[in-house]
């Protein structure tokens, strides 16, 4: 332990260790520091080192070690209380509370010892003149733990009735305990109301709102307040994750995942903390953790995943089923030890209730990436489907299956192909007539895509064998269309002519019906439309084919949804031709008409595609209101029939449109849904990453920084320049840097901003590069890295200069000047940088030929003079001679006078800036022993605000400061 040579170096070392992450390494360091303290032969040094050791033990997984240093401290107090200063005296009494809670957490400590300790605490608090509030709070904890509810109720009332004093827990911790009692009493609403000041940031401490956020998850779920529960999980887990001592709160987040269909995320949480399975320093939190592990594993087993590999205690591999049994056994064994100690069954009863919980939501989307716990069913994009058909308890006979399949086909229901597949399976074991075999082949071909050509041809042969020439021709026409879809356009065009001629001849002879004729005309129209799209030719022929189809089916539909469908699709084809010709307005109207026909025929799932086309056209024309209406209509009509990837795309498009008009909250909801459905579709790394990128931006816009950070970190795990574009990657890093900065995680913010700046460095336009370098410098400075910050500001300044952006060049110079006070450059370097900033401003102002630009530059010059004055005044060394101080203050006053002069020239728009500089100059005058001049400046500020709006906070603040400056003169 080199460097621990005196009390001051010991204190510095303890302060540095306090900033280290919780855990065994910090605890070991505290033990070494105690050994060094004992060498100093200073009683207070040993007392402080013991207090430091006790604190780090308490905030770690080795809580059981804190009893030894406390016992030693208490003995030292009893023997020589004079060795303790005021702070250590307070600390000794403060940690009595930790001892009570710590004993409760250790089942080997007898209940009689805990009760004796509680009496000792009460006695010592009374001797020290402290309120009994902390004592009654500790008694409440003991009674609640052993299940003595009447005593707990009495202690709770006494706790709240006693006066708050220096020994009482902070407001945040007290409210957490009080809310916990309401929760245990079945009063979820009351608990959440008690916790509201903590959740809203009114009260906080080292462990709050961390634990309140975790404790709030279940009551919020029980009350159906899912959005709040999601937010509290994302925000709270971010706080809990780096703190080793918070295993109980961590367990609450795992429990939340198990009860909301987020089993995969629960497994990720377990994998992050393998030591939580085995750390024995706090048995009660280990018991709680193992209980929720059992809950999660039971959930996985119930989903049929009992054999899935899962994270567990080190030393072997685990399946979900194996870990469920292990965790349950360990948790119950610990509960039995607590109950044996307590003489009640309270701990075990509550533990079993916790492990027996049922899910409170089938699936609550969180926005962060969720790997499915069961494999997704492969799906093809943009094909409408409905939820799976329920499996009947017994397989129906072939006639019933056939009747149902025909009904679904005739009415164009989504599950017709599945029904025909069931018919095909049943027909394998029985003899069926050629027509039924033709229908089976026909509908099987429809589900085969490009591979269905041969089956369509076979169906045509069977229809002909069964005597239905019209349906045979229609099947061959369908085969031709499939060829077009497969890229064989010329073959398809050649192959459709003969079916087309034959069906018209048959129809003219009344030898076939409208349905078959319409089917062939539709296949021909589709093939001709493919030619338009692929080769940009044949529009006139395609339009004639579509109009021929519409002439056939127009007015004939009625109750025949097949014909209505043909008419609607034909109208949509006309819309596509109008769009191809550049008539977007007509195309949109025709798409709307087609959509309305499908909806009117009670086939809303077919309307989705056309509403999406309307939205795209409206977006191109700048009609965002119509785009939003169409997308909402698509979601409404698609409902459960749109496949997951389609739902993700619809929600994402709507999020972008809604977000574009400033409705960030609703946009976030749609982006959240998009991320969820992308995960369901197996598109987490592609569409899901983009959805999370957007969601993070919308959450950031609402000031929900912790949630946004969690989502953006999840998005960045998958965002790739080659897939999503480097602009998306840079934007996500930029947003994340903003979030981390707001959360006070400045070093991490700097890393993200520097990563983004490195990518943007290669872009032709350098504004983003410069801005990110500037922001990174700001974060580095806030992280206590002045030299690194100076380099980043220098880089940004060079970029601003190259772009001719004087404002940000000057700001980078000013920032570097302030940083110089913390580096080897020192005050001299700081003054030079600030002088450079003044010079850059003046030169730009002299050459400005635009009045508005000149006014902005003047404002920048005024701010630079003001900051120069502040810097000169603050950079005087503490040990400076009077003459040196006088010189620095005079120079500072000159800069303030220059600032006042510039701001005065800018008129009313710079009033607040001018009065701020005037007051700063007044305080300098006072420090220079010129009370009359200081008073004159104060009166000038008061005069400037005569008749000003008294509700203006800046006005009130300036007036108050001016009166304060006047007080010495008036007295």
Length of the chain: 971
Spans of the chain below 70 pLDDT: 1-2, 371-395, 556-558, 969-971
Q: What gap in Å lies between CA 900 and CA 880, rounded to an integer?
A: 28
Residue 831: strand, helix, or coil: helix
What distance in Å separates the CA atoms of residue 741 and residue 783, rounded to the nearest whole number?
10
Tell how far CA 589 is from the center of its chain.
Answer: 39
Q: Are 743 and 706 in contact, with CB atoms under 8 Å apart?
A: yes
Q: What are the CA-CA distances from residue 843 to residues 380, 838, 903, 905 (Å)?
A: 63, 9, 18, 18
CA distance 924 to 403: 96
pLDDT of 371 reads 62
What pLDDT, on a 0 to 100 scale, did the predictor assign at position 373?
57
DSSP codes joined into one string, 833-885 = HHHHHHHHHHHHHHH---HHHHHHHHHHHHHHHHHHHHHHHHTS-TT--HHHH
- The three-state secondary structure class of 784 is coil
Cβ atoms 615, 630 nearer than 8 A: yes
Question: What are the start-end ranges of the H helices in 509-581?
Answer: 514-535, 539-553, 561-580
Phi first, then psi, for residue 944 (nearest 5°) are -65, -25
Q: Do residues 247 and 270 make contact, with C-beta atoms less than 8 angstroms apart? A: no
Q: Rounded to the nearest 5°, which phi and psi values hold at 80?
A: -145, 75
- Least Cα distance to 527 among 485, 566, 471 occurs for 485
> Both tokens of residue 54?
């006790």
Unique residue bearing structure tokens 């508005």:
852
Cβ atoms of 773 and 795 within 8 Å: the answer is yes
pLDDT at 380: 31
Got the DSSP string for 55-84?
A: HHHHTSS-GGGGHHHHHHHHHHHHH-GGGS
Burial zone of 471 (CB within 10 Å; 0-12 exposed, 13-18 middle, 19+ buried):
buried
Query: In whole angstroms, how far apart are CA 501 and each of 407, 495, 507, 520?
Result: 30, 11, 10, 10
Beta carbons within 8 Å of 89's beta carbon, 6+ residues apart: 77, 81
Residues 6+ away with beta carbon under 8 Å from 281: 60, 61, 62, 63, 64, 65
How do residues 123-164 score in pLDDT, each as one tens digit?
999 999 999 999 999 999 999 999 999 999 999 999 999 999
Per the CB < 8 A criterion, the answer to whether 546 and 574 are in contact is yes
> Which pLDDT does position 395 carry in this prediction?
56
Q: Tally helices (H) and strands (E) across the chain.
A: 47, 2
Question: Which residue bears the tokens 């004993």?
Answer: 103
DSSP 105-128: T-TTS-HHHHHHHHHHHHHHHHHH
Helix (H) / strand (E) element for 829: namely: helix 826-847
Query: How many beta carbons lie within 10 A of that of residue 500, not counting itself?
Result: 21
Report residue 258 CA to chain centroid gap: 19
Cβ partners under 8 Å of residue 849, min gap 6 = none
Contact 603, 618 (CB under 8 A): no
Residue of 563, 481, 551, 476 whose CA lies nearest to 514:
563
Q: How far is CA 185 from CA 140, 213, 228, 556, in A?
A: 14, 19, 22, 68
Q: What is the pLDDT of residue 558?
A: 67
List 208's β-bridge partners, or say none. 205
- For residues 292 and 277, what is the distance between their CA atoms, to the nearest angstrom? 11
- Show the tokens assigned to 107: 């089942």
d(CA 533, CA 546): 15
Other beta carbons less than 10 A from residue 536's beta carbon = 9
If you search the block for the tokens 């027996």, which residue do you land on?
A: 356
CB contact at 8 A, 385 and 681: no
Whether 385 contacts 417, CB under 8 Å? no
Enumerate residues 6+ apart whose C-beta is below 8 A from 790: 777, 816, 819, 820, 823, 825
Give this prediction's pTM. Answer: 0.84
Contact 693, 719 (CB under 8 A): yes
**Pair 626, 618: CB distance under 8 Å:** yes
Phi, psi of 391 (to 5 degrees): -80, 125
Longest dimension (CA), the chain: 119
pLDDT recorded at residue 387: 36
Alpha carbon 527 to its chain centroid, in Å, reads: 47
Taking the C-alpha atoms of residue 325 and residue 313, their distance in angstroms, rounded to an integer, is 13
Cα–Cα distance, 802 to 792 (Å, whole number) = 16
């Amino acid at each position: 332990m080199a460097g621990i040579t005196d009390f001051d170096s010991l204190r510095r070392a303890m302060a540095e260790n306090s900033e280290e992450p919780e855990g065994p390494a910090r605890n070991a360091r505290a033990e070494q520091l105690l050994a060094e303290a004992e060498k100093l032969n200073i009683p207070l040094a040993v007392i402080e080192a013991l207090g430091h050791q006790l604190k780090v033990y308490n905030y770690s997984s080795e809580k059981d070690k804190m009893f030894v240093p406390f016992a030693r401290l208490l003995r030292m107090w009893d023997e020589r209380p004079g060795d303790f200063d005021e702070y250590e005296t307070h600390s000794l009494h403060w940690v009595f509370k930790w001892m009570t809670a710590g004993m409760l957490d250790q089942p080997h400590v007898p209940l009689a010892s805990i009760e004796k300790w509680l009496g000792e605490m009460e006695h010592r608090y009374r001797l020290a003149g402290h309120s009994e509030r902390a004592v009654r709070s500790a008694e409440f904890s003991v009674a609640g733990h052993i299940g003595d509810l009447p005593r707990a109720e009495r202690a709770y009332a006494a706790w709240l009735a006693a006066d708050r004093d220096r020994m009482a827990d902070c407001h945040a911790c007290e409210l957490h305990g009080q809310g916990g009692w309401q929760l245990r009493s079945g009063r979820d609403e009351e608990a959440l109301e008690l916790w509201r000041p903590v959740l809203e940031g009114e009260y906080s401490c080292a462990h709050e709102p961390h634990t309140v956020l975790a404790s709030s998850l279940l009551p919020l779920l029980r009350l159906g307040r899912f959005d709040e529960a999601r937010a509290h999980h994302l925000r709270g887990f971010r706080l809990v994750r780096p703190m080793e001592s918070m295993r109980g709160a961590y367990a609450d987040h795992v429990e939340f995942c198990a009860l909301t269909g987020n089993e995969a995320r629960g497994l990720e949480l377990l994998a992050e903390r393998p030591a939580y399975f085995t750390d024995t320093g706090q048995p009660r939190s280990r018991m709680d953790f193992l209980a929720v592990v059992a809950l999660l594993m039971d959930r996985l087993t119930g989903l049929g995943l009992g054999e899935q590999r899962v994270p567990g205690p080190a030393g072997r591999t685990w399946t979900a089923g194996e870990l469920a049994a292990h965790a349950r056994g360990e948790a119950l064994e610990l509960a039995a030890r607590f109950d044996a100690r307590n003489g009640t069954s309270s701990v075990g009863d509550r533990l079993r209730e916790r492990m027996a919980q049922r899910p409170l939501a089938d699936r609550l989307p969180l926005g962060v990436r969720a790997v499915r716990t069961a494999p997704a069913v492969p799906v093809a994009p943009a094909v409408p489907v409905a939820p799976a058909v329920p499996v009947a308890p017994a397989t129906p006979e072939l006639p019933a299956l056939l009747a149902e399949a025909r009904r679904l086909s005739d009415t164009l229901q989504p599950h017709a192909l599945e029904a025909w597949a069931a018919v095909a399976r049943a027909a394998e074991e029985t003899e069926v007539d050629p027509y039924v075999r033709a229908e089976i082949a026909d509908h099987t071909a429809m589900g085969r895509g490009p591979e269905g050509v041969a089956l369509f041809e076979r169906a045509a042969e069977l229809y002909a064998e069964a005597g239905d020439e019209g349906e045979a021709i229609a099947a061959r026409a369908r085969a031709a269309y499939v060829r077009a879809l497969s890229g064989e356009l010329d073959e398809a065009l050649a192959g459709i002519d003969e079916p087309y001629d034959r069906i018209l001849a048959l129809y003219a002879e009344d030898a076939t019906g409208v349905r078959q004729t319409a089917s062939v005309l539709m296949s021909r129209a589709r093939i001709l439309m493919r030619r338009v799209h692929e080769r940009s030719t044949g529009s006139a022929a395609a339009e004639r084919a579509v109009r021929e189809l519409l002439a056939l089916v127009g007015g004939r539909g009625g109750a025949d949804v097949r014909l209505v469908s043909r008419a609607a699709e034909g109208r949509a084809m006309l819309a596509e031709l109008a769009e191809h010709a550049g008539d977007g307005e007509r195309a949109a109207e025709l798409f709307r008409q087609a959509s309305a026909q499908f909806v009117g025929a009670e086939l809303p799932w077919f309307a989705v595609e056309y509403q999406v086309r309307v939205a795209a056209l409206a977006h191109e024309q700048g009609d965002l209101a119509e785009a939003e209406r169409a997308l909402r209509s698509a979601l409404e009509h698609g409902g459960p029939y749109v496949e997951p990837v389609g739902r993700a795309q619809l929600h994402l498009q709507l999020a972008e449109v809604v977000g574009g008009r400033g409705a960030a909250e609703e946009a976030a909801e749609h982006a959240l849904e998009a991320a969820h459905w992308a995960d369901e579709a197996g598109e987490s790394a592609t569409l899901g990453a983009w959805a999370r990128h957007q969601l993070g931006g919308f959450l950031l816009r609402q000031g929900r920084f912790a949630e946004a950070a969690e989502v953006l970190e999840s998005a960045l795990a998958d965002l790739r320049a080659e897939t999503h574009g480097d602009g998306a990657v840079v934007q996500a890093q930029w947003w994340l840097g903003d979030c981390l900065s707001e959360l006070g995680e400045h070093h991490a913010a700097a890393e993200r901003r520097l990563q983004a700046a490195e990518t943007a460095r290669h872009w032709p336009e350098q504004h983003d590069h410069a801005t990110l370098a500037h922001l990174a410098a700001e974060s580095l400075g806030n992280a206590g890295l002045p030299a690194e910050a100076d380099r980043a500001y220098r880089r940004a300044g060079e970029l601003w200069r190259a772009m001719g952006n004087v404002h940000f060049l000057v700001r980078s110079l000013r920032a570097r000047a302030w940083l110089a006070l913390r580096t080897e450059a020192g005050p001299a370097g700081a003054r030079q940088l600030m002088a450079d900033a003044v010079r850059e401003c003046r030169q730009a102002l002299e050459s400005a030929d635009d009045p508005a630009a000149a006014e902005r530059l003047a404002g920048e010059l005024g701010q630079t003079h003001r900051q120069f004055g502040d810097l000169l005044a603050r950079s005087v060394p503490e040990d400076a001679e009077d003459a040196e101080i006088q010189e620095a203050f005079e120079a500072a006053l000159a800069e303030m006078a220059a600032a006042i002069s510039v701001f005065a020239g800018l008129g009313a728009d710079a009033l607040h800036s001018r009065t701020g500089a005037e007051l700063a100059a007044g305080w300098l005058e006072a420090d220079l022993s010129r009370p009359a001049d200081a008073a004159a400046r104060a009166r000038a500020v008061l005069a400037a605000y005569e008749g000003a709006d008294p509700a203006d906070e800046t006005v009130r603040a300036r007036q108050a400061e001016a009166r304060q400056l006047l007080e010495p003169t008036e007295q």
